[in-house]
Amino acid sequence: MALAKESTPVSAKNGADQEAEYRAQTRVWLRLLACTTLIEGELRRRFREEFDFTMPRFDVLAQLDREPSGLVLGELPKRLMVSAGNLTPIVDRLVEDGYITRTPSNLDRRVQIVCMTVEGRKAFRRMAKSHGAWLAELLADFPADRFDGLIGELDELKGAVKDALQKP
């Protein structure tokens, strides 16, 4: 199957424009990756040092924090955009460590409900507070009045990528 750019272009661009657009796209991707890697690495390091915790574990707790009555286990992979198999050992350990409970549903024995414990909620709130402060510290030098603009651009970018993924 032919590559998209070689089949009929929506707006016929000349070679130079095409090249320029390729470069711009690559640059966006590399900057995006660099920013994310930089921030993620620092957050991970601090989670580890301060709380002996990991971000994937924190992400699970963050989802459950908004669900007082718990969540169907199968909702987690969807919300967190990770594979189901990935979550199994993470949930296992959160249960082991007493942050959450996992109880089989009586109506459908395939289904399990995960729910934060009181201690889990307490620990989460403590960590979430630090997480916010760390983020504020890392982003402190970025002009506050340009956050909204950047959020808008990123939202649009995300939408564009999602649309592109929908197509085929």
Partner DNA sequence: ACAAATTACTTTATGCTTAAAATAATTCGG
Partner DNA sequence: CCGAATTATTTTAAGCATAAAGTAATTTGT
Q: Are 62 and 124 in contact (CB under 8 A)?
A: yes
42 vs 65, beta carbon nearer DNA: 42
What is the crossing angle of helices 15-46 and 55-65, to 10°? 90
Q: Is 85 in the site for DNA (CB under 7 A)?
A: yes
Cα–Cα dist 1/79, whole Å:
33
Q: Is 150 in the site for a copy of itself (CB under 8 A)?
A: yes
| Least CB distance to a copy of itself at residue 135 (A) | 5
* Torsion angle (degrees, nearest 10) of CA 103, 107, 108, 109: 50
Cα–Cα dist 168/163, whole Å:
10
Q: Are 58 and 127 in contact (CB under 8 A)?
A: yes
Q: Is 84 in the site for a copy of itself (CB under 8 A)?
A: no
User: Which of 3, 12, 16, 118 contacts a copy of itself by CB under 8 A?
Assistant: 3
- Which residues are near DNA by CB under 7 A? 41, 44-45, 48, 54-57, 72-74, 81-91, 93, 102, 107-112
- Which residues are near a copy of itself by CB under 8 A? 3-5, 21-22, 24-29, 31-42, 81, 130, 132-133, 135-142, 144, 146-151, 153-165
